């Protein structure tokens, strides 16, 4: 029978990061996209989409984590969950926040209830930013 060698320190660190992760919702993409859509409002949709993508590429934060071989993620955190307002309003994140179901913790982020299977968080600033741009997409 084949015996596997022990996992490397790098892989052990990455495994722990993934197991202990908190997915952080961000408004960065939604804010940049909304500003770009407003800026290019009169432009033909065939041109508007590439221009807004260019704005996203130029302005979004690129996150590079130690131990990664393939770098770059969807947002400014290790486990970011950006909002995609052009696909539909992000009520799933705003509704429980508006109801006060999420709590502000010592790390400065609003966290979902502990009994939920996926740990989520959002900063109060990102929450306000999402609320400010969501009207444009409704």
pTM: 0.83
Share of the chain above pLDDT 70, in %: 99
The pLDDT tens digits for 112-130 are: 999 999 899 999 999 999 9
What is the edge-to-edge ordering of all strands in the sheet holding 80-82? 80-82, 23-26, 120-122, 110-111, 103-104
Q: What is the pLDDT of residue 113?
A: 92
The tokens describing 129, both together, are: 């930013």
**Burial of residue 42, with CB atoms counted within 10 A of its CB: 0-12 exposed, 13-18 middle, 19 or more buried:** exposed
């Amino acid at each position: 029978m084949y015996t596997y060698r022990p996992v490397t320190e790098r892989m052990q660190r990455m495994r722990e990061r993934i197991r202990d992760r908190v997915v952080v919702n961000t408004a960065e993409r939604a804010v940049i996209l909304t500003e770009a859509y407003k800026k290019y409002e009169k432009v033909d949709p065939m041109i508007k989409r590439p221009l807004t993508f260019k704005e996203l590429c130029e302005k979004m934060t690129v996150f590079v984590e130690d131990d990664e071989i393939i770098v770059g993620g969807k947002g400014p955190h290790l486990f970011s969950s950006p909002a995609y307002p052009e696909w539909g309003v992000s009520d799933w994140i705003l509704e429980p926040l508006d109801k006060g179901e999420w709590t502000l913790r010592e790390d400065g982020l609003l966290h979902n209830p502990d009994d939920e299977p996926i740990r989520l968080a959002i900063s109060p600033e990102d929450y306000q930013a999402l609320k400010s741009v969501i009207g444009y997409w409704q």
